[in-house]
A and B are shown apart, each in its own frame.
Chain A
Amino acid sequence: MLVSDVMTAFPAYIRLGATIRRAAEVVSVSEVGQLMVLDHDGRFVGSLSEEDLVRAMLPGFDDVTGAGGSLADAFRIFLERGRALADRVIDPLVVRDTATVRPIDELARAAIVMIERGIRRLPVVDDGTLVGTLSRADLCRAVIYHS
């Protein structure tokens, strides 16, 4: 079975230059943890994970001690940073050298790279163009549920 047989064909994506608020909105609406990122010409450049968005809001030790020093302060900074980050562009958070698969690849090939590298959702790219994504759920559905 090939990747193209089971992939999600209309992936949630966002373009370079978009704001973090926009990214959070897409994540929320699409209910996927990983957004595909395209450049201004519509070509695939990488991915943006909700994990990185959240991590960017977590304060470090010095941030906390600089603002009161208690855990409650740390929790407050977390919220403040979220607000502050919202208007910035997503570009610095985009992971660019991400693993991809082609639509004609065998499913197992995709499964192996996902498990070994802890990837939850793989971009399916055909000659530089994003044509879909393949999630672990897609794999389970195709290989186990429909078997």
Chain B
Amino acid sequence: MCALPATLGRDSGAAAVVLDDGTVSRRHARLEFVDNHLVLTDLGSSNGTYLNDERVTRRVLVSGDRMRIGRYELTWTFIDPETTALVDPGQLTMLRPVAPPRVAARRVVEAAEAHNRRVGHELDGFLSLAHGFLPAEPPLLAFPESHRAWDEMTDRLPDLFRRLSLRRAFDAMPVLDARPAALPDRYLLRASTLLGVFAHAYQYMVTDPPTALPESLLRPWTTVSRRLGKKIPAVSYIDLFFYNWRLRDPAGPRALDNMDLLVPTWNNAAERVFYLVTTEFAMGLTPVLGAMLDAQEAVVADDPAALESALLVILDRLQHVTQAIYPQIDPNPRARHPLDQVLWAKTVGTAGVPIFDGAPSPSGTAQPQIHAMDAFLERRDYGSLVGQQSVYLAGFFPRHWQELVAALREVSVRQYVEDTRNSTLRGIYNAMLDAYVGDRGWMGLHRIKAYGFLEVAFKVGRQVTTGARFTGLFKDRTWDKVDGELAVVREERRPPVGPPVAFGTARRGRVVTGESGAWTCYLEIDVTGQGVHHLPGDRVGVLAENDDELLRRTVAALQATGDELVRLTPKWRAAVAYRAGYGEVDVLPLRTLLRFAQLRPIGREVAKRLVKLTAVGPWQRVVDARMEDQWELWDVLNLLYAGGYDVTRLWKADPQEDDAFCAVIPPEPFRLYSIASAPPPGQPATTLQLVVAGLDYTSARTPWSYPRERQGTASHFLRRASVEGRHRLSLQIVSTPRFRLPADPARHVVMFAAGSGIAPFLGFVAARTGSGENRLYLGIRTPEEFVERTDLDAAAAAGRLKLSVAFSRADAAIEFDGRRHVVQAGQRRRVDDVIRAEADALWELLRSTDDGGRGAFVYVCGSARFAVSVLKALTDIVPGDGREFLRQLVADGRLGEDVFTTYMGHAQQGPRFEVSDLAQHTTSDVGYWMAIGGAVFDVSEFLHLHIGGPHIIRNHVGLDATAAYRKVLHHAHAEIDAQLSMYQIGHLRRLQFGARWGVGLTEDGLHALPLEELFRTWVRFVYLLVGMENALTADYGFTTSVTTLGEDPRELTPFKAQYVLEAHRRFLVSYLDGLVHEELRTLWQLTVGFCDPHLDIRSFDIDLAAMSARSDVGLVRRSVSAVKELLLAGDDFRQVTALCRIYPHVDVQLLRDLKTAVLEGIQAFEIHEADVVEQAGATLLNAAHEALAAVSAYYQRLAEQTRGQGITADGAVEEAIPVDRGLPGHGGPLPLPD
């Protein structure tokens, strides 16, 4: 290490860095720091100074530049003591030994590279620094002449699939020799991929498996597999993803747009996108391999700076693949590479399931990158099912990969980061970990995406996943179990270094108060040396503390002094560890605990917990009215105390008890704020700027709440911090991959902000230094709220920014006078008025470049109401279909929304809707609605904008989607939750049943039941019907997609017809039987108990048995296999086509008829509420009757149509339901070949 300026040269007296070489001058060159730049100057040397092989006299150095003087190649690292905390200068030398210590993993990689070069093939595993786990030599495109029969088959698969004639074609293919003499080693990988794909195509072309593979496939595939060291022939991850691609333009990039599948099966969009994105994903991770080696070597060399840069490479790549490559798997049908989940489920989704028992599967857990990362990050636990599967699959890795994974475990980067206690390294290490396993990282994203795919897939009857097989009735929600497994596996991977949190120090800020008293605080947080890396648009989570006044009230309400010691639960211990200066504590004084607790407003879960604990009537009524958010903990406690509850239990109870404070009240969560600054690219942030809007409101005067001034916890905390300064803050960076500037700086950007929504755009403006135009439209109330900012003035002066401000409550405007933005007279207006006023110019900017426009990126930041008004105005300025334009804008990734709910403290807004209204909104004609957490949303338009695609939304319309919404953590991500409020139209009305009850007789005996429970049974039934209707619509929608390359989507190909048959059979067995024999029966039994004591409870069973005995029912159920035989025989396709056109229609119609019948009952509840039994008991019973009658009519109708097609199915029997092979399991039903 040397200080600047430094001279480099041969003379040990004159030079700080001595280079012992005759070709080096005494004083050869100088390094110095000029205006924030590191400058290299040649000091008139005889033989010159070279930078990146170019002779230079004076040049600014940038990171990565190679410097050469004489025969010395100089590597360098610039350490700025101002911006980094790597403080021990004695550790570092400017001239490090050129050869760093070679760690075991590097030796493995070098040996693998040398081995593969020497033998001329990569059968022992692809492994190189240049290509990571992918082949160094691109996959071969052809076999030698002797094996042309295989090559010729590759282009024919889609057509053979479409006609269901693939098995015949392979039966007729010659049996080729795959022994070494006939097929040299270098063709083995191609043969493995081809034969594997062929075999799987043969196996899965028809929904029923064949009895055996034909000799033409089985013999060569077995031979090739054995030669590759596989005991059982199986398609590997390598076959499907690493050796199944070709470059369209061999000189072009290894990217989705430039790749085709080597061996396409259907060659449909789902197959191409799913496989090739997975391939590109692996390609994108290539630099991680080298970075892991560098990191370990930095640890061995005790070089924190080198470790920092290596970890940053990993962080950057992880973020790149998850935020840029992975999202290319896009379920949005308007996207560039749309991937329809139903198409995926019916084709690609099952294609990799192993054919033979005991064979490994090519599931995601077989990715070598994951195993390498896990080894590098020291994953310790593999106990979950997915974890065990992962270990099992790693046993099938080629030699080089196995050796690498083992070698990567030899050096502990984590331990080093922990030991150095270096906050920069710790920050980056934890950020890298978060990018890998965090909620928004690789594993988190995978889980959410997989959940969406699995749910859609299971509902359209995908009975197998690639790793394991499942069957299960629709109502069992098998996908939830699979998802649970993925959640456990994510828990298994993360030992972070200390709590994953950064600490910052608040600087004194500035508070701007408007005319109305509303205030905004501009705050700076110093995060120097914390290793905080973020991009413009990201958010920062802040842990707030409660103020003294609130603490005083709460302590008083708890009848405590505040000094009482309270023991913490594990959840609370983890939360307190995030606080600066606390770390590992088991006990806290009550007052401190309260300082960190979420004391206001009362959340739904806490409210319900308090109801359960205290049974205090007035509070129960508040919660029933959903008005708990009008309360703070202290006034609730006072209410509970008045109702007889012993409030001291909260701090006296042991932590494991239900009524302990820590079990009832959660810790304050991180509150998110958009970061209003941007660090230079690739560098850590030293300062985070925030724009905090103050939150003050008065709770409502209603029967369940009283008016009182309330404050927002976080905004007031940050205001105090900015006034006091020096306050230590706990921070977490939350990345917002959907709110990113365009990668190309020449693209144009249009930003719309309201109030404090300007925050992310301040960061954007700072980061946008390219040629692209930037427009910022800001909506605020009065000129007092307008804050002059030198950064905006400078950007405008440089021509980089056009700022337009709309004042909603003052006749004013902002003008740029060439130097500053100044307030002038103008007219009051809102941002949407400005948009309409500038319609033509904006449209020109927004219109896509394909359409002759300028293709600007659009960003909106503000409250949900503001966002709605901006989007509405934007659709209005589009000539033609404005909504369609907006949908396309989203699909192109050109619309970023950063929406926040400004909590104004009234949950009871908007109209009330009934369950019967909700359940009927399931079609495009009447619109799509859904309910989440008691609120009703119109998602007709959102359907087209949902990141996860329309299928997932369609699956949940017309019913209560709360569980699914929470499952994917949407409720925990404020930015998503807030977007939802853009579509809210009201609330579900809660019916009042008082204390009415009745008696029901079921197999469990006689039981008393609240009337409300009877209503819930009806509602559950109608939701089940709606869910089935949604799923079935998606299932049959498959018939209109392009399933194989080059087909007319309107044509019902034999391949599609077999799926119609399968869906119809699943409808009969999986849906209808459970629905009628269980759900409808229970509904009937309970309803009879309430409504008619003289009715024989068995009359339903008798009616059902009579119906089932009818010949119509027998024909409908038997005919499925008869029609399938007709299809496979391939003689007369017309009958099959006719019936396959009928099934979707009648099946969906039955569900709608059932819904109509059941809604009669639901509406009776809605009209009469507590008096429903007396007033409309007969209506309820009749509705249940009508439901059964609808089923009966369905069978009759369908039987007639089946007979009408001349099908009597005399000899046919109904197919049995296949055995559930459980989870996990490998392999299919074929026995192993000898």
Interface size on A, residues (CB 8 A): 14
Q: Which residues of B contact A71 (CB under 8 A)?
A: 999, 1001, 1088-1089, 1092-1095, 1097
- Complex Cα distance, B577 from A82, in Å, reads 65
Contact assessment for B1093 and A64 in the assembled complex, using a CB-CB cutoff below 8 Å: no
Q: Which residues of B contact A61 (CB under 8 A)?
A: 1001-1005
Q: Which residues of B contact A68 (CB under 8 A)?
A: 1096
The answer to whether the Cβ of A98 comes within 8 Å of any Cβ in the partner chain is: no
The answer to whether the Cβ of B1098 comes within 8 Å of any Cβ in the partner chain is: yes
Give A42-63 as 1s and 0s: 1 = Cβ < 8 Å from B's Cβ atoms. 0000000000000000111100
Q: Which residues of A contact B1002 (CB under 8 A)?
A: 61
Contact assessment for A58 and B1005 in the assembled complex, using a CB-CB cutoff below 8 Å: yes
CB neighbors of A among B1081-1099 (8 A): 1088-1089, 1092-1099
Contact assessment for A69 and B1006 in the assembled complex, using a CB-CB cutoff below 8 Å: no
Contact assessment for B1006 and A70 in the assembled complex, using a CB-CB cutoff below 8 Å: no
- Complex Cα distance, B1088 from A64, in Å, reads 14
Given contact pairs A61-B1001, A64-B1001, A74 touches B1096 in the complex (Cβ within 8 A): no
- Complex Cα distance, B1003 from A64, in Å, reads 10
Contact assessment for B1006 and A72 in the assembled complex, using a CB-CB cutoff below 8 Å: no
- Complex Cα distance, B1007 from A59, in Å, reads 11
- Complex Cα distance, B1003 from A69, in Å, reads 12
Give B971-1001 as 1s and 0s: 1 = Cβ < 8 Å from A's Cβ atoms. 0000000000000000000000000000101
Q: Which residues of B contact A70 (CB under 8 A)?
A: 1088, 1092-1097
CB neighbors of A among B1063-1122 (8 A): 1088-1089, 1092-1099
Q: Which residues of A contact B1004 (CB under 8 A)?
A: 61
Given contact pairs A59-B1006, A61-B1004, A69 touches B1097 in the complex (Cβ within 8 A): yes
Q: Which residues of A contact B1099 (CB under 8 A)?
A: 69
- Complex Cα distance, B205 from A118, in Å, reads 64
Residue of A nearest to B1098 (CB): A69
Q: Which residues of B contact A73 (CB under 8 A)?
A: 1096
Give A70-91 as 1s and 0s: 1 = Cβ < 8 Å from B's Cβ atoms. 1111110000000000000000
Find the residue from B999, B1092, B1093, B1099 having the highest chain A CB count within 10 A.
Answer: B1093
- Complex Cα distance, B1099 from A61, in Å, reads 14
The answer to whether the Cβ of A65 comes within 8 Å of any Cβ in the partner chain is: yes
CB distance from A73 to the nearest CB of B (A): 8
CB neighbors of A among B1001-1020 (8 A): 1001-1006
Contact assessment for B1005 and A72 in the assembled complex, using a CB-CB cutoff below 8 Å: no
Give B859-870 as 1s and 0s: 1 = Cβ < 8 Å from A's Cβ atoms. 000000000000
Contact assessment for A65 and B1098 in the assembled complex, using a CB-CB cutoff below 8 Å: yes
- Complex Cα distance, B1005 from A70, in Å, reads 13
- Complex Cα distance, B1089 from A75, in Å, reads 12
- Complex Cα distance, B1099 from A71, in Å, reads 13
Find the residue from A58, A61, A68, A71 having the highest chain B CB count within 10 A.
Answer: A71
- Complex Cα distance, B1093 from A75, in Å, reads 9
Q: How large is the interface on B (under 10, 10 to 19, 20 to 34, 35 or more residues)?
A: 10 to 19
Residue of A nearest to B1002 (CB): A61
CB distance from B1092 to the nearest CB of A (A): 8
- Complex Cα distance, B1094 from A68, in Å, reads 9
Given contact pairs A61-B1001, A64-B1001, A74 touches B1095 in the complex (Cβ within 8 A): no
Give A109-132 as 1s and 0s: 1 = Cβ < 8 Å from B's Cβ atoms. 000000000000000000000000
Contact assessment for A65 and B1097 in the assembled complex, using a CB-CB cutoff below 8 Å: yes
Q: Which residues of A contact B1097 (CB under 8 A)?
A: 64-65, 69-71
- Complex Cα distance, B1166 from A37, in Å, reads 52
CB distance from B1095 to the nearest CB of A (A): 5
CB distance from A137 to the nearest CB of B (A): 20
CB neighbors of A among B915-961 (8 A): none
- Complex Cα distance, B1099 from A59, in Å, reads 19
CB distance from A141 to the nearest CB of B (A): 21
- Complex Cα distance, B1006 from A73, in Å, reads 12
Residue of A nearest to B1005 (CB): A60
CB distance from B283 to the nearest CB of A (A): 64
Residue of B nearest to A73 (CB): B1096
CB distance from A69 to the nearest CB of B (A): 4
Q: Which residues of B contact A64 (CB under 8 A)?
A: 1001, 1006, 1097
Q: Which residues of B contact A60 (CB under 8 A)?
A: 1005
Tell which of B1003, B1006, B1092, B1098 touches A74, judged by Cβ atoms closer than 8 Å.
B1006
Contact assessment for B1001 and A72 in the assembled complex, using a CB-CB cutoff below 8 Å: no
CB distance from B139 to the nearest CB of A (A): 66
Contact assessment for A72 and B1094 in the assembled complex, using a CB-CB cutoff below 8 Å: yes
Q: Which residues of A contact B1096 (CB under 8 A)?
A: 68-70, 73
Q: Which residues of B contact A65 (CB under 8 A)?
A: 1097-1098
Residue of B nearest to A65 (CB): B1098
Residue of A nearest to B1090 (CB): A71
Find the residue from B1004, B1094, B1099 having the highest chain A CB count within 10 A.
Answer: B1094
Residue of A nearest to B1091 (CB): A71
Residue of A nearest to B1088 (CB): A71
Q: Which residues of B contact A58 (CB under 8 A)?
A: 1005-1006
- Complex Cα distance, B672 from A51, in Å, reads 58
Contact assessment for A72 and B1093 in the assembled complex, using a CB-CB cutoff below 8 Å: yes
- Complex Cα distance, B1098 from A74, in Å, reads 13
- Complex Cα distance, B1093 from A58, in Å, reads 16
Q: Which residues of A contact B1006 (CB under 8 A)?
A: 58-59, 64, 74
Contact assessment for A74 and B1001 in the assembled complex, using a CB-CB cutoff below 8 Å: yes
- Complex Cα distance, B1097 from A65, in Å, reads 8
CB distance from A22 to the nearest CB of B (A): 27
- Complex Cα distance, B865 from A46, in Å, reads 70
CB distance from A77 to the nearest CB of B (A): 10
Residue of B nearest to A78 (CB): B1006
Residue of B nearest to A71 (CB): B1093
- Complex Cα distance, B1093 from A59, in Å, reads 15
Q: Which residues of A contact B1092 (CB under 8 A)?
A: 70-71
Find the residue from A59, A70, A73, A74 having the highest chain B CB count within 10 A.
Answer: A70
Q: Which residues of B contact A59 (CB under 8 A)?
A: 1006
- Complex Cα distance, B1003 from A60, in Å, reads 8
- Complex Cα distance, B1096 from A73, in Å, reads 9
CB distance from A62 to the nearest CB of B (A): 9
- Complex Cα distance, B1093 from A64, in Å, reads 12
- Complex Cα distance, B1099 from A84, in Å, reads 29
Find the residue from B999, B1006, B1095, B1098 having the highest chain A CB count within 10 A.
Answer: B1006
Q: Which residues of A contact B1089 (CB under 8 A)?
A: 71
Give B755-770 as 1s and 0s: 1 = Cβ < 8 Å from A's Cβ atoms. 0000000000000000
Q: Which residues of A contact B1088 (CB under 8 A)?
A: 70-71
- Complex Cα distance, B999 from A73, in Å, reads 13
CB distance from A54 to the nearest CB of B (A): 12
CB distance from B1087 to the nearest CB of A (A): 11
- Complex Cα distance, B1088 from A74, in Å, reads 13
- Complex Cα distance, B1096 from A71, in Å, reads 8
- Complex Cα distance, B1004 from A68, in Å, reads 18
Q: Which residues of A contact B1093 (CB under 8 A)?
A: 70-72, 75
- Complex Cα distance, B1003 from A68, in Å, reads 15
CB distance from B452 to the nearest CB of A (A): 42
- Complex Cα distance, B1004 from A72, in Å, reads 18
- Complex Cα distance, B1085 from A65, in Å, reads 12
- Complex Cα distance, B1001 from A60, in Å, reads 9
- Complex Cα distance, B1099 from A69, in Å, reads 9
- Complex Cα distance, B1176 from A79, in Å, reads 29
Residue of A nearest to B1089 (CB): A71
- Complex Cα distance, B1094 from A64, in Å, reads 12
Q: Which 4 pairs, one residue from A and one from B, show the smallest C-beta to C-beta distance? A: A69-B1096, A71-B1093, A72-B1093, A69-B1098
10 more A-B residue pairs beyond the given contacts A69-B1099, A71-B1088, A72-B1094, with a C-beta to C-beta distance below 8 A: A61-B1003, A61-B1005, A69-B1096, A69-B1097, A70-B1093, A70-B1095, A70-B1096, A71-B1089, A73-B1096, A74-B1006
Q: What are 12 A-B contacts with C-beta separation under 8 Å? A: A58-B1005, A60-B1005, A65-B1098, A69-B1097, A69-B1099, A70-B1088, A70-B1093, A70-B1094, A70-B1096, A71-B999, A71-B1097, A74-B1006
Residue ranges of B at the interface with A (Cβ–Cβ < 8 Å) = 999, 1001-1006, 1088-1089, 1092-1099
